[in-house]
């Protein structure tokens, strides 16, 4: 979530940190309460929007801009719950295993915990703890290796550019070259392009950025790519069939008060980003991944609300459509595609510092 509440592809922070996404810096307009402070000592206002826990809500809930879905409702189910609540964790699929790394726990502490859900398992198991407690971490799987490329530390959301990899079967993370000094970010859009991981935009302690970095997993080296046209954090990253890097949505600042709908593309070898079909609902921090050539973008945050809306982008056809909404609004987490389904672990049901342990699973029709 943005830092509004205490956020990849890249986006909640205890509830709006990606306010910074549900946890970033947004001042909530509904009610101000005493609570965790964001960088610079700004008091976060929590959006007191009532969302009932395990009950299904209407398809387009409070704060959603979604219209009726164009297709038959896609079945939403629940996966095995996390061992505890988690807000603004990093999420990735390694093979058919789901990994949840770091984030804020039920006590709103940034943690080093790693949890793994193996295929067909009824419960999560612990994985190797990260060397540093991170939230809004930039996490990518390249083959069967996980790359943890910086993130934000402490509830002051200070960027930390140190990087590590976790090889298959390893019990500890190995250190990698750190991000260039002064370019450290968390909550970036993460794009895997062959052996390279691209980090587009992201957040520092006090601002979103337009910087684009590329990490060469073979050469263990960082380089720069053309900057985005404007700063943003908590955007989604993807790769188009034509090889272009894509950055979808995000937020202008460290809260969700100025969500973005644009889709930006950087073609191989290009010197500037160009526009593609915009997302129908402007938002940051949606839980997203690619299923059968389409990017599914679920939930997220905009203004003072977590969202139910689900929209699907045809990566080859450059067109969007609406799909069946989440049964309960969700922000402050990421999604991962496993065995033809989109898995969304943790996050929060509203822009508040309330980490959840539930796991939403969407299996497209």
User: What is the 3-state secondary structure of 101-150?
Assistant: ECCECCCCCECCCEEEECCCCCCCEECCCCCCCCECCCEEEECCEEEEEE
The reply to whether 290 falls in a domain is yes
Average pLDDT, the chain: 84
Answer whether residue 6 is part of any domain.
no
Say yes or no to pLDDT of 291 above 90: yes
Q: Which residues contact 365 (CB under 8 A, 6 or more apart)?
A: 71, 72, 73, 74, 75
Write the burial class of residue 314 (CB in 10 Å: 0-12 exposed, 13-18 middle, 19+ buried). middle
**Which of 40-54, 96-110, 207-221, 343-357 is least confident?**
40-54
The pLDDT value recorded for residue 3 is: 55
β-bridge mates for residue 135, sequence order: 152
Cβ atoms within 10 Å of 244's Cβ, excluding its own: 20
Question: Does the structure show a pLDDT above 90 at 37?
Answer: no
Percent of the chain with pLDDT strictly greater than 90: 78
Kindly calculate the radius of gyration of the chain based on its CA atoms and give it in whole angstroms: 18
Q: Is residue 194 part of a domain?
A: yes
Question: What is the reported pLDDT for 57?
Answer: 28
Tokens of 315: 């990566």
| pLDDT higher than threshold 50 for residue 66 | no
Split into its structural domains, the chain has a count of 1
Domain with residue 70: its CATH number is 2.120.10.80
Q: Are strands 145-153 and 158-166 parallel, antiparallel or unpaired?
A: antiparallel
Q: What is the pLDDT of residues 310-321, one digit of tens each?
A: 999 999 999 999
- Tell me, yes or no, whether 256 lies in a domain: yes
Residue 303 in any domain: the answer is: yes
Q: Which domain holds residue 133?
A: 16-359
Establish if 348 belongs to a structural domain. yes
Query: Is 1 a domain residue?
Result: no
Is there a domain that residue 365 lies in? no
Cα separations in angstroms, 291 against 56, 279, 335: 24, 17, 11
64 pLDDT higher than 60: no
Do 233 and 249 meet the contact criterion of CB atoms below 8 Å apart? Answer: no
Task: Answer yes or no: is pLDDT of 8 > 90.
Answer: no
Local structure of 203: helix, strand or coil: strand
Q: Which of 70-79, 133-142, 167-176, 257-266 shows the lowest per-residue confidence on average (mean pLDDT)?
A: 70-79
* Mean pLDDT in residue range 288-299: 97
Buried b (16+ CB within 10 A) or exposed e, 78-107: ebbebebbbbbbbbbbbeebbbbbbbbbee
1 — pLDDT class (breaks 50, 70, 90): low
Tokens of 205: 């302690």
DSSP string, 292-357: TTEEEEE--EETTEE---EEEEETTTTEEEEEPPPSS--BS---EEETTEEEEE--BSSSSS--B-
Instruction: List pLDDT tens digits, range 155-198.
Output: 999 999 999 999 999 999 999 999 999 999 999 999 999 999 99
């Amino acid at each position: 979530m943005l830092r509004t509440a205490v956020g990849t592809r890249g986006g909640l922070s205890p509830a709006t940190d990606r306010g910074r996404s549900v946890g970033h810096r947004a001042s909530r307009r509904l009610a101000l309460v005493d609570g965790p402070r964001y960088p610079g000592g700004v008091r976060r206002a929590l959006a007191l929007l009532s969302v009932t826990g395990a009950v299904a809500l209407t398809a387009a809930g409070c704060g959603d801009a979604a219209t009726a879905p164009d297709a038959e409702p896609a079945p939403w189910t629940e996966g095995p719950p996390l061992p505890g609540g988690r807000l603004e964790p990093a999420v990735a699929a390694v093979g058919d295993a789901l990994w949840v790394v770091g984030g804020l726990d039920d006590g709103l502490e940034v943690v080093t915990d790693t949890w793994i859900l193996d295929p067909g398992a009824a419960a999560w198991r612990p994985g190797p703890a990260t060397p540093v407690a991170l939230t809004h971490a930039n996490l990518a799987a390249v083959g069967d290796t996980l790359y943890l490329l910086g993130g934000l530390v402490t509830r002051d959301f200070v960027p930390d550019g140190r990087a590590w990899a976790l090889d298959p079967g390893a019990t500890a993370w190995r250190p990698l070259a750190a991000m260039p000094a002064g370019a450290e970010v968390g909550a970036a859009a993460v794009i895997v392009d062959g052996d390279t991981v691209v980090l587009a935009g992201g957040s520092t302690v006090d601002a979103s950025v337009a910087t684009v970095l590329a990490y060469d997993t073979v050469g263990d080296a960082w380089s720069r790519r053309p900057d985005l046209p404007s700063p943003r954090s908590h955007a989604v990253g993807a790769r188009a069939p034509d090889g272009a890097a894509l950055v979808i949505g995000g937020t202008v600042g460290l809260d969700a008060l100025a969500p973005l709908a644009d889709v930006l593309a950087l073609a191989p070898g290009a010197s500037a980003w160009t526009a593609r079909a915009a997302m129908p609902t402007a938002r940051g921090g949606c839980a997203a991944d690619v299923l059968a050539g389409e990017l599914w973008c679920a939930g997220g945050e905009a203004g003072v609300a977590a969202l139910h809306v689900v929209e699907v982008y045809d990566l080859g056809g450059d067109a969007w459509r609406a799909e069946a909404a989440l049964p309960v609004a969700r922000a402050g987490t990421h999604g991962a595609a496993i065995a033809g389904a989109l898995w969304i672990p943790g996050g929060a049901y509203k822009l508040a510092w309330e980490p959840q342990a539930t796991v939403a699973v969407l299996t497209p029709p």
